Amino acid sequence: MRLDRLDFINGGMDRGAAFHMAVDEALLFTASHPTLRCYRWSRPAFTFGYFVPWSRVECFSGDRVRRWTGGGIVEHGQDLTYSFILPASALASTAKQIYYSLHQAITELLCEDGHSAEQSDADDETASDSCFEKAMVYDVKIGRMKVAGSAMRRNRQGVLLQGSIQNVQLKPGFGGRFAGRLAKDFQVVAVSSLTIEAAARIAKERYGSLEWNRRV
C-alpha cells in the first residue's frame, strides 16, 4: 500500500486518554483524505480493547479507557501512539494489507535507525491480556520483544487503526518519516475545529463514561 496523498497530524491536544480515543473516532467520520496522527502522552494511561472485560483493568491506577478498536491492554506514557484513518472513498486494500503495510513501514524505519527489527510471521502462544507481551502476525519485534502493534475498526465510513510504538528509542522526527513512508506526498495539518467539537462530545458521552468503560 502506497498512498498518493496523506494528511499528517503531529502531536498536540493532550487532554487525556478519553479525548485521544474520541479524536480518533471523530477523524474517521470527518477526514476526507487518508490521515496519520502521531502523539505522545503527558501522563500515564491505559487503553484496552473493545472486548476486554473491565475486570482485567480495574486493578490498574490512572486513566483506563476502552478503545473502539480491538486488541489487548496497552500502557501509555513513554510510547509514540499513532492512529491511521482511511476513508471509505480511499479504501482499496484489505484489512490484512493495511495492517501489514503500516507495520512494514515501521520495521523499515527502525532498521534504517540501526535496530534489528522484523515483522512477526506468526502469533505468539503467550496467554496475556497485555498487548506488548504477545506479538501477533505482522507486529514489529526486535529480538523477542514486541515494539509495535495496533488494532483496527472497520465500518462503512472506512478504517481506523490505532497503534503504539514502545520499548525502543525513536529518533526525533519519526512521525514525519512514518508519514513519508506511507505516502508519495503528505501535508502537515491541524485537527479541524469541527473534529475537536465532535471529539469533545464523543469523549463525554462515550470514552469518559462508566457505562462504556465498564460495560463488560
CATH number at residue 27: 3.30.930.10
Percent of the chain exceeding pLDDT 70 equals 99
In a domain, 191, yes or no: yes
Range of the domain at 47: 3-93+152-213
The reply to whether 166 falls in a domain is yes
- Annotation marks residue 38 as catalytic: no
Express each pLDDT in 99-145 by its tens digit. Answer: 999 999 999 999 999 999 999 998 887 778 899 998 999 999 999 99
Q: Does 173 have pLDDT greater than 80?
A: yes
Q: Would you place residue 15 in the very low, low, confident or very high pLDDT band (cuts 50, 70, 90)?
A: confident
| Predicted pLDDT of residue 92 | 65
What gap in Å lies between CA 199 and CA 23, rounded to an integer? 5
Residue at 80 is within a domain: yes
CA distances, 191 to each of 59, 75, 199 (Å) = 34, 25, 10
| Residue 96 banded pLDDT, cuts 50, 70, 90 | confident
| pLDDT confidence tier of residue 216, bands split at 50, 70 and 90 | confident
Residue 117 included in any domain: no
> 10: pLDDT confidence band, cut at 50, 70 and 90?
very high
> What is the grid cell recorded at 164?
503504539
Q: What is the rounded CA–CA span in Å between residue 41 and residue 171? A: 17
- Establish if 208 belongs to a structural domain: yes
Per the domain annotation, does 100 fall within a domain?
A: no
Check whether 91 has a pLDDT greater than 80: no
Return the ∠ at Cα 92 (arms to 100 and 174), rounded to 5°: 45
For 75-81, what is the mean pLDDT?
95
Domain count, the chain: 1
Residue 137 is predicted with a pLDDT of 93
Instruction: Give the pLDDT score at 159.
Output: 93
Catalytic entry in 38, 59, 111, 131 = 131
Instruction: Give domain status of residue 199, yes or no.
Output: yes
Residue 164 lies in a domain: yes
Instruction: Give helix then strand counts, H and E, for the chain.
Output: 5, 11
